[in-house]
Structure 1
């Protein structure tokens, strides 16, 4: 009999800056305690950056931002979805030192084992990023 995979965790938050902390806390609380502390810190940073981008650039005030978290293939994956079809752009150069924004995708790119922007079938997009598990599973 095949092993039943873990069911992905799903959250929906209002497209509001306060949702960034709520999303970060929800993801951190759901990660298994056995995982190394570094994975918690890295996933927290990924969550903050992706949800912040979705709230600022991908959703109107009355929209929601959706998060899905799941383990697969030796990684923990996070998908953050918003209703905008506009794709985020990875800068080729870091922003000026005094800039207050513009580093989010650079951090995602540096932390994630892989990441991509995936169009949603009916509306919007998902930004999916994965962190490698220390023990491969």
Structure 2
């Protein structure tokens, strides 16, 4: 997750996005961790993709696993299960979409204000083999 956070921080800086860094980086960490723990088939990786358009930063994490992530209940005694709750709490919008070939993408968006050119940057996760 460290490389995903570093990539996201560098991308935000390159785009001149000066707000909501902590929230974006938190969501990148949570979505990358979920992909590694629950969505990556053996020998495969995940893909982190970031887009900027019309005052919005979008984070997408694609993996090759089945299933559909869902919000946990936030059980305080559990070791995990709060990642999507955090994403839902800090992102302006989020969703899960199926992708072909098999797998899914979990995305979230953040309003960051106007300025700068739109663009897209993609980075791969471990092995990047979807």
C-alpha displacement of 1:123: 1.8
Report 1 or 2 for greater relative contact order, CA contacts < 8 Å, sequence distance ≥ 6.
Answer: 2
Deviations 1:76-132 (A, max 9, x none): 0010011012110112x321x232111100000001111111111212000010011
2:93 corresponds to? 114
The 2-side partners of 1:60 and 1:87 are apart by 14
C-alpha displacement of 1:75: 1.0
1:26 and 2:4 equivalent?
Answer: no
Q: Secondary structure at the match of 1:52?
A: helix
Unaligned residue ranges in structure 1 (runs of 5+): 1-19
The 1-side partners of 2:12 and 2:55 are apart by 14
Q: Which runs of 4+ in 1 moved over 6 A?
A: none
2:17 corresponds to? 35
C-alpha displacement of 1:60: 2.7
**TM-score, with length taken from structure 1:** 0.77
1:101 and 2:83 equivalent?
Answer: no
Q: CA RMSD, aligned part only?
A: 1.5
C-alpha displacement of 1:73: 3.0
Q: How many residues align?
A: 114
**TM-score, with length taken from structure 2:** 0.80
Q: Secondary structure at the match of 1:30?
A: helix
1:131 and 2:113 equivalent?
Answer: no
2:31 corresponds to? 50
Q: 1:75 to 1:23 in 2, by over 3 A?
A: same
Higher-Rg structure is 1
Unaligned residue ranges in structure 2 (runs of 5+): 116-130
